[in-house]
């Protein structure tokens, strides 16, 4: 049992895994350490800034509060007092919100709040008292001046002067109490007032008594000046006490802020010490892991350079020797087990074996190429390979001889059209649809072209002159034989007719009058038979004098149904299925009815006993054709009989009653009307005759009326279809693009209808461009079974050139002529 050995890939992968793990460990350690350090620094930064900011905010708010409190004492307006008190209260709330629940300072704030309330209350009361004192002060000052003036009158007595001066003294005592700044002074003025009142002598002067009464009213009682001044001074003392409380609270808050700042600085110092320690440990870990990674990397490099590189060099040298042709280069077997080096050794041996096989294949290919070259050179036909542009890329040696040109002309790689012109060849279409090249001397070349998948085409040119001559001789012999057969049959039939006429005339010479009617009837019957035989011969020869009409086939078949049913045996069932849409065709209705009757009679004669005849009408959308199918359930025809079914005077009836012109007449009439006939039959299953007629599209017919049309088409079937679509136009037809160019230069056409591919060239666009340049009123339609995706002339001639798919439909032609192709 072979011992398991890890592959080179596995060993290198394991080393890379270890290195990756070490690198990830270093990275993870560094990342985690840095993350922790960053987190600590961020936390420290945030906490420190938050603590310092909170401390500064507390200090600033406390100072602001301590500053605002004295300001309340200076305000006189109650509104301003309450406004400033609200601001101070809000400031206290902000300070309270900035404090943690466990921190001190809440009591101081509460005392400050109560002090502010007391201060506001005292200030408010003082303001009210001051207002009342001021009013009394004003009245007292007025009275004092009045007393002074009365005491200075010149006519006053000394007793009255003393009385007035006493009242003046009382007034001055009141004014002194108003201006006193403490309770002691107010009390002294109050005692002086009482002393003067008690010591003052009475006077009978009513004016003096009125003045005394006014002074006593101002000074005495609860609302007297002295009582108001004592209340005012008392409120002032209470306000100062509250102010002291506020200042002490502000100092406590400021002290608390200083303590918060100190605590933040202590935390910063502790966190810094922890961070430095963690970074030191991480640094040592990174160094150790880095040393381990370097050792692993060095071991891996030694393994790669010592083992892998040496073996790769051996394989490279062996491959180099093999590449320069040394097929004996070998490598030892059985080494390195199943690892990558062993697989490279095995790959080298497989490559060497494949190289030896390739050498053998190259020798065989050279032999096969030589065989193909001999076949290529020995072909009696001309073979040419053309480019996309129609230039001759290569040709076999017989190409020049077949085209009757010099080999030098072929070697110059000319366009095939130029090569054909130099040989005097004219392109045309043969009766079987094959493109032919003809020369005035009678030589004929059949030209077949096939497109190559890589682009371009391959063209086979076969000299068919001798074969065509033999075929023509054979056709003449067959034609003579057929004419002889037809002549014999016609002579026989006409002989019977003439015999009947001659006998009748001879009998009429001596016949009694009563027999003359029957003899004339016999003569008329013979003449009718001769006329019918003549009509059938003309239909076969497609020389009937047709009277076509535009009509619906559905209506025609429905109209002839009764006539056909009367002609059939009772055991034969007739079923007619009309089309869902109108089938408008241009046809001779009498000949069409006769053709349907002939087909149904033929079908009935093929049915023994009971059977069925079906007439079905369809619209062939793709071909724009109307289809009439006459199918029976009769005996059918064998392939041999089916091959001759449409030949004149051919009949499969054993009783000799058929003339052999029925199907031939139908075929000639349908083809003369621009249609076609197909017959399918199986012995024992019945026969189906398919009549196809081109639909008549009035829109297209009207638009194309009186147009001068140049039709360039090398396919006879497509040319016939185009002629049917352009029934009422003046059509000039050719299959040669060069002749079409000459016609465009010499005549004026309203419309050019050309095939896209005419022989080896894509000549359709070239003809369309020449027609559009020749006359600004000319329009062009290019038809093809494989139209390109883009019209190359549309940009230069908008609305004048169109591409239509084959077969060309009348509706599409009408849309193009109206300028709206679909």
CB 808 within 8 A of CB 623: no
pLDDT digits (tens, 9 = 90+) for 485-501: 555 666 666 677 777 78
Strands (E), 42-103: none
Instruction: Give the residue from 169, 162, 177, 167 showing the smallest Cα distance to 211.
Output: 167
pLDDT at 336: 56
Q: Which domain holds residue 395?
A: 379-463
681 and 741: one domain? no
Q: How far apart are CA 461 and CA 443, in angstroms?
A: 12
Of 641, 661, 694, the last residue of a domain is 694
**Residue 58 domain flag:** no
Domain identity same for 683 and 722: no
Domain shared by 689 and 702, yes or no: no
Are 480 and 434 in the same domain?
no
Angle, CA of 87, 93 and 94, to the nearest 5°: 90
Range with the poorest average pLDDT among 241-245, 288-292, 795-799: 241-245
Judgement on whether residues 689 and 706 belong to the same structural domain of the protein: no
**pLDDT at position 631 over 90:** yes
Does any domain span residue 794? Answer: yes
The pLDDT, as a whole number, for residue 103 is 62
Q: Give the model confidence (pLDDT) of 276-323 as tens digits.
A: 777 777 677 777 777 877 777 777 667 655 666 767 777 777 778 777
Residue 566 sits in a domain whose CATH number is 3.30.565.10
Structural domain contains residue 440: yes
pLDDT of residue 709: 92
Residue with structure tokens 């995706």? 789
Domain stops at, among 521, 540, 559: 540
| Cα 711 to Cα 144, 531, 699, distances in angstroms | 141, 39, 20
CB-based contact 782:771 (threshold 8 Å): no
Write the CATH number for 772.
3.40.50.2300
Q: What would the mean pLDDT of 748-754 be, rounded to a whole number?
A: 92
Structure tokens at 116: 């502010």
| Alpha-carbon gap, residue 293 to 19, rounded angstroms | 6
DSSP 8-class letter at 788:
-
More confident residue, 697 or 600: 600
Specify the CATH number for the domain of residue 528: 1.10.287
Considering the domain architecture, whether residues 590 and 481 belong to the same structural domain is answered as: no
The answer to whether the predicted template modeling score (pTM) of the entire model surpasses 0.85 is no
Least confident range of 255-269, 311-325, 536-550: 536-550
Calculate the dihedral angle through the C-alpha atoms of 690, 693, 694, 696, rounding to the nearest 10 degrees.
-130
Residue 552: beta bridge partners? 584
Burial of residue 170 (number of CB atoms within 10 Å: 0-12, 13-18, 19+): buried
In the numeric block, which tokens belong to residue 463? Answer: 């000299």
Cβ within 8 Å of residue 333, ≥6 positions away: 345
What is the C-alpha separation between 615 and 618, in angstroms, rounded?
10
Q: Which two tokens stand for residue 626?
A: 């109307």
Domain boundary among 694, 720, 740: 694
Is 560 within a domain?
Answer: yes
Query: Is 194 inside a domain boundary?
Result: no
Rounded to 5 degrees, φ, ψ at 162 are -65, -40
pLDDT of residue 733: 92
Same domain, 705 and 689: no
Query: Based on the domain organization, do 573 and 675 belong to the same domain?
Result: yes
The verdict on residue 572 lying in a domain is yes
| Residues 686 and 746 occupy one common structural domain | no
Same domain, 571 and 603: yes
Q: Which of 16-30, 175-189, 602-616, 655-669 has the lowest mean pLDDT?
A: 655-669
Q: Residue 401's domain is classified under what CATH number?
A: 3.30.450.20
Counting every residue written for the chain, the total comes to: 822
Share of residues in the chain with pLDDT > 70 (%):
73
Instruction: Tell me how far apart the alpha carbons of residues 139 and 129 are, in angstroms, rounded to a whole number.
Output: 16
Region 768-795 average pLDDT? 86
Q: What is the pLDDT of residue 385?
A: 83
User: Does a structural domain hold residue 476?
Assistant: yes
Instruction: Please check whether residue 55 lies inside any domain of the structure.
Output: no
- What sign for the dihedral angle of Cα 314, 318, 319, 324? positive
Do 777 and 729 share a domain, yes or no?
A: yes
Res. 543 pLDDT band, cuts 50 70 90: very low
Q: Is 574 left (phi over 0), alpha (psi -120 to 50) or beta?
A: beta
Residues 569 and 650 in one domain: yes
Pairing of strands 676-682, 686-694: antiparallel
How far apart are alpha carbons 233 and 210 in whole angstroms? 30
How many domains, the chain?
A: 4
């Amino acid at each position: 049992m072979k011992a398991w050995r890890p592959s080179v890939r596995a060993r290198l992968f394991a080393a890379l895994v270890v290195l990756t793990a070490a690198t990830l460990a270093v990275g993870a350690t560094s990342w985690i350490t840095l993350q922790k350090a960053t987190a600590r620094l961020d936390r420290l930064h945030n906490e420190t800034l938050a603590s310092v900011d909170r401390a500064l905010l507390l200090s600033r708010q406390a100072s602001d509060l301590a500053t605002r409190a004295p300001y309340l004492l200076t305000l006189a307006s109650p509104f301003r007092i309450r406004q400033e008190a609200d601001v101070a209260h809000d400031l206290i709330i902000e300070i309270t919100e900035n404090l943690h629940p466990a921190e001190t300072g809440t009591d101081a704030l509460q005392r400050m709040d109560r002090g502010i309330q007391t201060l506001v209350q005292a200030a408010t009361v003082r303001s009210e008292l001051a207002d009342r004192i001021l009013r009394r002060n004003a009245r007292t000052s007025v009275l004092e001046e009045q007393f002074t003036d009365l005491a200075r009158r010149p006519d006053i007595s000394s007793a009255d002067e003393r009385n007035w001066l006493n009242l003046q003294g009382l007034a001055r005592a009141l004014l002194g109490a108003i201006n006193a700044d403490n309770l002691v002074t107010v009390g002294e003025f109050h005692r002086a007032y009482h002393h003067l009142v008690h010591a003052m002598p009475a006077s009978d002067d009513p004016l003096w008594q009125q003045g005394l009464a006014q002074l006593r009213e101002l000074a005495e009682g609860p609302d007297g000046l002295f009582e108001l001044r004592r209340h005012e001074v008392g409120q002032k003392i209470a306000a100062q006490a509250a102010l002291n409380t506020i200042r002490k609270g502000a100092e406590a808050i400021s002290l608390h802020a200083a303590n918060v700042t100190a605590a933040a600085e202590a935390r910063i110092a502790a966190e810094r010490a922890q961070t430095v320690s963690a970074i030191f440990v991480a640094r040592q870990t990174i160094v150790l892991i880095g040393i381990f990674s370097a050792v692993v990397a060095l071991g891996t490099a030694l393994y790669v350079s010592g083992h892998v590189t040496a073996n790769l060099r051996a394989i490279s040298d062996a491959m180099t020797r093999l590449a320069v042709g040394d097929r004996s280069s070998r490598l030892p077997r059985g080494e390195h087990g199943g690892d990558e080096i062993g697989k490279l050794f095995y790959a080298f041996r497989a490559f060497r074996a494949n190289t030896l096989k390739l050498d053998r294949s190259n020798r065989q290919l050279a032999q096969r190429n030589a065989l193909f070259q001999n076949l290529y050179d020995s072909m009696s036909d001309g073979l040419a390979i053309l480019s996309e542009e129609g230039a001759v890329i290569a040709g076999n040696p017989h190409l020049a001889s077949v085209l009757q040109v010099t080999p030098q002309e072929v070697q110059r790689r000319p366009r095939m059209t130029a090569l054909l012109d130099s040989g005097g060849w004219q392109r045309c279409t043969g009766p079987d649809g094959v493109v032919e090249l003809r020369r005035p001397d009678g030589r004929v070349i059949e030209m077949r072209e096939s497109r190559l998948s890589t682009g371009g085409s391959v063209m086979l040119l076969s000299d068919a002159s001798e074969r065509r001559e033999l075929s023509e001789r054979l056709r003449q012999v067959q034609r003579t034989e057929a004419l002889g057969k037809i002549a014999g049959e016609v002579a026989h039939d006409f002989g019977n007719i003439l015999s009947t006429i001659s006998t009748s005339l001879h009998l009429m010479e001596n016949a009694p009058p009563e027999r003359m009617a029957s003899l004339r009837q016999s003569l008329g019957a013979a003449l009718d038979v001769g006329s019918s035989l003549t009509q059938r011969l003309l239909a076969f020869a497609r020389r009937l004098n047709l009277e076509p009409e535009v009509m619906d086939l559905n209506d025609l078949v429905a109209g002839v149904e009764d006539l056909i049913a009367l002609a059939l045996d009772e055991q034969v069932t007739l079923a007619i299925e009309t089309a869902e849409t109108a089938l408008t065709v241009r046809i001779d209705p009498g000949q069409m009815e006769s053709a349907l009757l002939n087909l149904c009679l033929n079908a009935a004669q093929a049915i023994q006993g009971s059977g069925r005849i079906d007439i079905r009408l369809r619209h062939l959308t793709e071909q724009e054709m109307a289809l009439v199918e006459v199918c029976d359930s009769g005996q059918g025809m064998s392939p041999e009989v089916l091959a001759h079914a449409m030949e004149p005077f051919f009949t499969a009836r054993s009783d000799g009653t058929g003339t052999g012109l029925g199907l031939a007449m139908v075929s000639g009439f349908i083809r003369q009307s621009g249609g076609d006939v197909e017959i399918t039959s199986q012995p024992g299953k019945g026969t189906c005759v398919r009549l196809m007629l081109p639909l008549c599209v009035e829109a297209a017919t009207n638009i194309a009326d009186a147009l001068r049309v140049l039709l360039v088409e090398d396919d006879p079937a497509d040319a016939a279809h185009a002629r049917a679509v352009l029934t009422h136009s003046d059509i000039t037809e050719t299959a040669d693009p060069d002749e079409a160019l000459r016609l465009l230069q010499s005549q004026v056409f309203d419309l050019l209808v050309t095939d896209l591919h005419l022989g080896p060239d894509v000549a359709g666009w070239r003809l369309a461009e020449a027609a559009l340049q020749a006359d600004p009123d000319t329009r062009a339609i290019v038809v093809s079974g494989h139209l390109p995706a883009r019209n190359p002339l549309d940009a230069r001639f908008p609305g004048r050139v169109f591409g239509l798919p084959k077969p060309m439909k009348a509706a599409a032609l009408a849309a193009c002529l109206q300028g709206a192709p679909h």
